């Protein structure tokens, strides 16, 4: 089923299903533009499908049985979902893994300033971006503000038609002679990614001293206080992310593609979630326990309490093993080592306009199905997981038997660059892991491109993997 154009092989019923899945996917992209929003959305969808929170369930005395469904969240930024199978968990799970953080621009802890009549938020970019791509496009502000009294205020400005938007300005072409002579890495610097948020001064009254020199900043603070009850010091305990404003859209006259922010890696996260939630265990409970694992911080090395290098997933597995078998460290280690995983992350889609960066026979193409990467890393496979031949052969059979279109690829030419995923972290636990996912164009840009056909095949492929015995 490899290297064929999916569109030419779809039956009419499949085309209808494809469009339904892609509409569902676009709505999820619109609602989940940050890792927190993705977790909130996943929890709501999980509850609608009968999932229960694991730790509260165990505390209430529930003993997990085959067919039961649970979820665990970590600091509202990562989530793991489990469907309990017939076999002991220590014999291994089928795990779908992806990350839900995306490249973006974050607001600094002391961000608010006024410069020559303009109010700005100072920022620090997150993940690998081409900084110049983030100027002169409409931007939205998403996140939370945690106040000292314990209240947590949700912020989402720039997505509704009636909302204002924000922008990072760029130098006009008429004066950009010196700028245009610089290397692309220097055209816009990180410290110049300040977000323009206001230009109107607070009118002189009892709230503003006549000698006030930062009246625009004062007006912004008044607006924040009126709408959110927020003081300037509250930025210290805020997590505010700057993302492109606007909805996911169909791309092309033929509506064959999706143009949207955050498809790295939410295209894999949401398709994995769909496969997990829609997997029908009511008629036949699976042999193995199933898991969908959506994590934070992959774009900066999977570090911290919500990244894949944290112990939250291992702790959740330990709780399940203790509740279904016995409290045993060796059984937890067996459960992880005996598991198999699809570490789903996007592949670099072949772009004919930049063909020189790819080795065509080993590139991932849009509309040719789910993409498997035996290894990622950079240059000499540095930092990669390298899947075994036996595991790949087993996956090929599963995909072929399920009629899934797939391809095998690398991330560009050998010495062109590279990238990593969460696969090696899980591989360190001894489990069989391979990188898989969907090819995209414009990876890490404000708006990325994917094929609807590949989104459809990803859901099919993930369902086939979950059924793998």
The encoded tokens of residue 67 equal 């067919």
Please give the CATH number for the structural domain made up of 6-102+261-466: 3.40.630.10
Residue 255's region, left for phi above 0, alpha for psi from -120 to 50, else beta, is left
DSSP bridge pairs for 114:
119
- The confidence score (pLDDT) of residue 192 equals 94
Give the predicted TM-score (pTM) of the model.
Answer: 0.94
- The pLDDT tens digits of the residues spanning 166-195 come to 999 999 999 999 999 999 999 999 999 999
Give the strand pairing for 439-441 and 448-451.
antiparallel
**What is the predicted pLDDT for the residue at 464?**
96
Instruction: Walk across the sheet containing 448-451 and list its strands.
Output: 249-251, 257-260, 448-451, 439-441, 347-348
Q: Which of 47, 459, 398, 456 is nearest to 271 (CA)?
A: 459
43 and 277 in contact (C-beta within 8 Å)? no
**Residue of 377, 384, 370, 343 whose CA lies nearest to 440:** 370
pLDDT tens for each residue of 330-382:
999 999 999 999 999 999 999 999 999 999 999 999 999 999 998 876 777 77
Average per-residue pLDDT for the chain: 93
What's the pLDDT score for residue 423?
Answer: 87
Q: Is the pLDDT of residue 415 over 80?
A: no
Instruction: Summarize pLDDT for 70-102 with one digit per residue, the tens.
Output: 999 999 999 999 999 999 999 999 999 999 999
What's the confidence (pLDDT) of residue 364? 94
pLDDT category, 385, cuts 50, 70, 90? confident
Question: Residue 263: in which H helix or E strand, if any?
Answer: helix 263-278
Q: Read off φ and ψ for residue 343, nearest 5 degrees.
A: -85, 100
Positions of CATH 3.40.630.10 in the chain = 6-102+261-466
Q: What band does 282 get if pLDDT is binned at 50, 70 and 90? A: low
- Between the two ends of the chain, the Cα-to-Cα distance in Å is 21
- pLDDT attached to residue 211: 52
pLDDT tens digits, 149-174? 999 999 999 999 999 999 999 999 99
pLDDT at 210 over 50: no
pLDDT-derived band at 250 (thresholds 50, 70, 90) equals very high
Quick one: pLDDT band at residue 208, thresholds 50, 70, 90? low
Q: 250 to each of 9, 54, 257, 260, 364, how far by Cα in Å? A: 21, 38, 6, 9, 21
The answer to whether domain 104-244 has CATH 2.30.250.10 is yes
Q: How far is Cα 165 from Cα 186, in angstroms, rounded to an integer?
A: 26
Specify whether the CB–CB gap between 108 and 122 falls below 8 A. Answer: yes
3-state class (DSSP) for residue 250: strand
- Cα–Cα distance, 214 to 121 (Å, whole number): 14
- Rounded Cα distance between 435 and 381, Å, is 13
Residue 315, classified by CB atoms within 10 Å of its CB into exposed (0-12), middle (13-18) or buried (19+), is middle
CA distance 12 to 28: 25
């Amino acid at each position: 089923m490899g290297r064929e154009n999916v569109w030419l092989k779809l039956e009419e019923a499949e085309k209808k299903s494809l469009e339904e899945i892609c509409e569902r996917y676009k709505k999820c992209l619109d609602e989940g533009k940050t890792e927190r929003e993705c977790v909130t959305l996943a929890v709501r969808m999980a509850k609608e499908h009968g999932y229960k929170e694991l730790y509260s369930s165990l505390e209430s005395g529930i003993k997990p049985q085959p067919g039961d469904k649970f979820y665990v969240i970590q600091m509202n930024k990562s989530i793991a979902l489990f469907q309990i199978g017939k076999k002991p968990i220590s014999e291994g799970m089928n795990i779908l893994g992806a990350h839900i953080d995306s490249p973006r621009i974050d607001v600094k802890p002391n961000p608010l300033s006024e410069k020559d009549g303009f109010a700005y938020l100072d920022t620090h970019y997150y993940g690998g971006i081409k900084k110049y791509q983030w100027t002169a496009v409409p931007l939205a502000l998403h996140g939370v503000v945690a106040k000292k009294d314990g209240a947590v205020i949700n912020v989402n400005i720039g997505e509704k038609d009636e909302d204002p938007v924000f922008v990072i300005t760029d130098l006009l072409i008429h004066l950009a002679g010196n700028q245009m002579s610089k290397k692309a890495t220097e055209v816009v610097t990180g410290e110049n990614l300040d977000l323009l948020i206001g230009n109107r001064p607070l009118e002189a009254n009892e709230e503003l001293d006549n000698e006030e020199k930062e009246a625009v900043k004062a007006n912004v603070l008044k607006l924040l206080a009126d709408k959110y009850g927020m003081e300037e010091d509250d930025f210290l305990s805020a997590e505010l992310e700057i993302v492109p404003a606007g909805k996911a859209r169909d791309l092309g006259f033929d509506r064959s593609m999706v143009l949207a922010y955050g498809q790295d890696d939410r295209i894999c996260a949401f398709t994995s979630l769909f496969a997990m939630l829609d997997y029908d265990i009511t008629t036949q409970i699976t042999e193995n326990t199933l898991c969908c694992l959506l994590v934070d911080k992959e774009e900066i090395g999977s570090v911290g309490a919500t990244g894949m290098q944290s112990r939250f997933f291992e702790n959740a597995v330990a709780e399940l093993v203790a509740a279904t078998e016995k409290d045993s460290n060796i059984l937890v280690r067996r459960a992880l080592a005996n598991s198999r995983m699809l570490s789903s992350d996007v592949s670099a889609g072949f772009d004919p306009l930049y063909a020189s960066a790819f080795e065509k026979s080993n590139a991932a193409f849009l509309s040719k199905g789910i993409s498997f990467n035996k290894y990622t890393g950079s240059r000499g496979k540095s930092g990669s997981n390298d899947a075994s031949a036996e595991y790949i052969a087993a996956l090929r059979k599963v995909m072929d038997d399920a009629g899934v279109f797939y391809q095998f690829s690398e991330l560009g030419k050998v010495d062109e660059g590279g990238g990593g995923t969460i696969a090696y972290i899980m591989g360190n636990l001894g489990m069989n892991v391979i990188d898989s996912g969907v090819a995209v164009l414009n990876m890490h840009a404000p708006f990325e491109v994917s094929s609807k056909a590949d989104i459809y095949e990803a859901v099919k492929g993930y369902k086939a993997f979950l059924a793998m015995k």
